[in-house]
Structure 1
Amino acid sequence: MTHSLSLVGAIKETGFSCTRCGTCCKESEPGSNLVMVGPEEISRIIESSGLSFEDIVEPYPDRIQEGGKDYTFGWVLRRKNDQCMFLERNRCIIYEVRPWICRTYPFMLDNSGLSVHPCEGIRTVNHTEDAQEMALNLEKRLEYEQDQDDKILKILSSHSIPAGKPVVIDAEGIKEYHG
């Protein structure tokens, strides 16, 4: 996948440089620091940290409850004391295997283009360094998220959501959760 010059240009023009304040990893308003993760990202974190699946993630908190069914879509990194469990002294302790959402913050790319989330690192420099790498990571993230969505849609079209127990639907299937 080749990144477009307009995307690289938009990223450069934003003037972003991470200040390492850790604010993006802390909850400033309800749900502001939810980090959605897919199965591959979870596996990398498990391998790197030695922690278990249950230690690392919890179901996305917005649940759908209808007709005896109780479900949600996807997983989020666990938080403790209103911050990401992997934030220590404003540093990410899983930096090398951090999820796509963290790798590309404060930028997000979707079908309507580039979005920039509020962050104190924006406009702190003339141009974003490594804009080409950020563009590539944004495109990889978008591709990954679209692939996850496609897999979930395929699962939903071929399986029924069980009633009577809470489940999480992710790109690997429908999983019972005992939180």
Structure 2
Amino acid sequence: MTSSVSLAEQIRGTGFSCRRCGSCCRETEPGSNLVMVGQEEITRIMKATGLSFEEIAEPYPDRICEGDRDYTFGWVLRRIGDRCRFLDGSTCQIYETRPWICRTYPFMLDENGLSVYPCEGIDQDFQTPDAVIIAFDLCRRYAYEREQDEKIRMIIQSETIPAGRPVVIDAEGIKDYYG
């Protein structure tokens, strides 16, 4: 994987500066604003806002149906219409406790390196001032996502997906689906 110093240099080179336009929080094409969140992120938002789990998160919308088994993997921030429920105008109401995906957008790190998604804040006339912070957060996000994926793999291997009711499989186990 890329070192955080090299990663910061790549990020600087994009000329990224968040314009706080809120475009990434609105759906521009189907699913474009899905923000995957883990239990730790949801808990942090619950503590900061006083909202319940169900007010913050909803099951990932793509479900897998195999015979009488109906399931999905993980949670996303709840949306209202075409926008994140925490977007007020162009302001994030949970900015200080926003999830990893939001902290690192428009960047993503995977086994192939850095990916940069379309964003109005790219190609500005200066180097990214927060490149080191973004690089650090990307590395932490990558590790967190790998850990979550491994926990889900272990759950799938050790537990039977129940039949007859929709469920969500996350890093903590198999939970009833609500929507």
When the two structures are superposed, what TM-score results if normalisation uses the length of structure 1?
0.97
Residue 23 of structure 1 deviates from its aligned partner by: 0.3
Unaligned runs of 5+ in 2: none
* Secondary structure class of the residue paired with 1:21: coil
Residue 125 of structure 1 deviates from its aligned partner by: 3.0
d(CA) in 1 for partners of 2:56 and 2:88?
Answer: 15
* Secondary structure class of the residue paired with 1:29: coil
Q: Which residue in 2 is equivalent to 1:165?
A: 165
Deviations, residues 63-84 of structure 1 (Å, cap 9, x unaligned):
0001200000000111112100
- Indicate conservation of the 8 Å contact 2:58/2:178, yes or no: no
Note the 1:23-172 alignment, pairs <5 A: 23-172=23-172
d(CA) in 2 for partners of 1:4 and 1:83?
Answer: 32
Q: What one-letter code is carried by the residue in structure 2 that aligns with 1:5?
A: V
Q: Percent identity?
A: 65
* Secondary structure class of the residue paired with 1:164: coil
- Indicate conservation of the 8 Å contact 2:4/2:139, yes or no: no
Deviations, residues 78-129 of structure 1 (Å, cap 9, x unaligned):
1112100000020100011100000000000001000000001001132111
Cα root mean square deviation, aligned? 1.1
d(CA) in 1 for partners of 2:27 and 2:79?
Answer: 9
Unaligned runs of 5+ in 1: none
* Secondary structure class of the residue paired with 1:118: coil
Q: Give runs of ≥4 in structure 1 deviating > 3 Å.
A: none
- Indicate conservation of the 8 Å contact 2:4/2:136, yes or no: no
d(CA) in 1 for partners of 2:7 and 2:178?
Answer: 42
- Indicate conservation of the 8 Å contact 1:108/1:114, yes or no: yes
Residue 3 of structure 1 deviates from its aligned partner by: 4.2
d(CA) in 1 for partners of 2:10 and 2:125?
Answer: 14
Q: What one-letter code is carried by the residue in structure 1 that aligns with 2:128?
A: T
Q: Which residue in 2 is equivalent to 1:4?
A: 4
* Secondary structure class of the residue paired with 2:121: coil
* Secondary structure class of the residue paired with 1:123: coil
d(CA) in 2 for partners of 1:105 and 1:160?
Answer: 35
How many residues are paired up? 178
d(CA) in 1 for partners of 2:114 and 2:93?
Answer: 28
* Secondary structure class of the residue paired with 1:124: coil
